[in-house]
Amino acid sequence: MHQILNVNQQSMFQPFQDLESKTLLYNYLQDPNCWWKAHGTFSASVIMSVVFGRRAGIGDANMEASLRVSAEFEQALEPGRAVVDVFPFLMRISWFKGLQPWRWYGDDLYRRTLG
C-alpha cells in the first residue's frame, strides 16, 4: 500500500489524501483527547477510499471491525506463536489440516474481515 501512495503516484491519490487531511484536522479540533483515533481514521480512510471506493469516519463500523481484526492479526505474527512456526512440516500433512488450530484462527479472522 505504501508503494501505491508514494510520491510517484501522488497526483493520482492526492485528492483522497487532501480530503482526509482536512478531515483529520477537523477531528483533531473536535476532540483533541482522541487524536490517536483521528490519526488512525485518516490512514484507514485513505486506504479504504483508494481500495474500496468509500470513506471511513470515526466510529465507522467497518473500519472499527477491520482495526480489531488487524490488532488480533498482529499478535498472530509473533514468531513462535503457533506450533507450525517451530515445525513447518506440519503444514504439508494434508490429513492434519483439521487439527491445525493456527488455521482455525486464521480462517476466523478472514471470515470477520469479509463483514
Residue corresponding to grid cell 487524536? 35
* Mean pLDDT for the stretch of residues 80-86: 78
Residue 69's Cα: distance from chain center in Å? 7
Domain that holds residue 2: 1-59
Q: Which of 79, 58, 55 is nearest to 67 (CA)?
A: 58
The answer, as to whether pTM is greater than 0.95, is: no
Q: Is 73 exposed, middle or buried (0-12, 13-18, 19+ CB in 10 A)?
A: middle
- The amino acid present at 89, given as its one-letter code, is F
Q: What's the alpha-carbon Rg for the chain, to the nearest Å? A: 19
- 55 and 74 together in one domain: no
Are 4 and 45 found together in one domain?
yes
Residues 53 and 67 placed together within one structural domain of the fold: no
Give pLDDT tens digits for 18-63: 999 999 999 999 998 988 888 888 888 888 888 778 888 887 887 7
